[in-house]
Amino acid sequence: MPKRVDPTERRTLIADALMRVAAQRGLEAVSLRHVAAEAGATTGLVQHYFRTKDEMMLFALEVVSDRTEARIGAAVGALGPDPAPRDLVRAMVTQMLPLDEERRADGKVALAFLAYAATRPSVAEVQRRGALGLRDFFATLLPTGAATTLLALVEGLGLYMLSGTYPAEVALRTLDDFLDAAFSPAAGRP
């Protein structure tokens, strides 16, 4: 009797291989052939689950997003049932910063996807919806301008951390300075 294969599990294994290739060599090195080799599979098997490179890339982006959401959910859950808004925001955005090896690998992939999306409208649309959804959530806790600034700050800090420009302590201190100002009594509320 043939072994049953879970298609979602197989697609996730392929996406993990894609992310390893992207994290090690950049998205320009990602091809069906390279991903198949990294996954220990044939190119035909990869093509069975993903007809195009864009399809494979979008699925991998979804996997990174799911992992980030899981980290955010765990961090928010650890705050208890009624966290202060500043604590909630800080717990969420620190999960987006490359503060450990897992987040660093995801950050490299996310950065590579951003460059990839610059020339692919379907990928850009997925990223745009995610970013605007997060901004809209933060705008329920902060003025919309501050929510937009927060996302830009976190993206920039992440980029500089990945390049080795800022160590974690500098990034976290900068984030805390922004949150202190944004949540001060003098700052408006939404």
Residue at 156 is within a domain: yes
CA atoms within 13 A on the CB side of 32: 15
Give the pLDDT of residue 153.
98
Distances from the Cα of 67 to the Cα of 1, 16, 21, angstroms: 34, 11, 18
Contact 175, 157 (CB under 8 A): yes
What distance in Å separates the CA atoms of residue 175 and residue 6, rounded to the nearest whole number?
41
Give the pLDDT of residue 29.
74
Residue at 67 is within a domain: yes
Residue at 188 is within a domain: no
Return the beta strands (E) in 15-149 as ranges: none
Residue at 135 is within a domain: yes
Banded model confidence at residue 2, pLDDT cuts 50, 70, 90: low
**Residue 81: domain span:** 7-182
> Range with the lowest mean pLDDT among 15-19, 67-71, 84-88, 160-164?
15-19
What angle do helix axes 32-39 and 53-77 make, rounded to 10 degrees? Answer: 50
What distance in Å separates the CA atoms of residue 164 and residue 158, rounded to the nearest whole number?
10
Residue at 118 is within a domain: yes
Higher pLDDT residue, 123 or 71?
71
Residue at 105 is within a domain: yes
Give the pLDDT of residue 143.
93
Give residue-wise pLDDT tens across range 140-167: 999 999 999 999 999 999 999 999 999 9
Interval 169-177 mean pLDDT: 98
CATH no. for residue 87?
Answer: 1.10.357.10
Contact 117, 168 (CB under 8 A): no
What distance in Å separates the CA atoms of residue 139 and residue 131, rounded to the nearest whole number?
12
What distance in Å separates the CA atoms of residue 58 and residue 53, rounded to the nearest whole number?
9
What distance in Å separates the CA atoms of residue 171 and residue 101, rounded to the nearest whole number?
16
Chain-wide mean pLDDT for the chain?
Answer: 89
What distance in Å separates the CA atoms of residue 61 and residue 59, rounded to the nearest whole number?
5
Q: Hey, what are 165's tokens? A: 């420009």
Give residue-wise pLDDT tens across range 37-62: 999 989 998 888 888 888 888 887 88
Residue type, 118: A
pLDDT greater than 60 at residue 1? no
**Domain total for the chain?**
1
Residue at 25 is within a domain: yes
Residue at 53 is within a domain: yes
3-state secondary structure 79-95: CCCCCCHHHHHHHHHHC
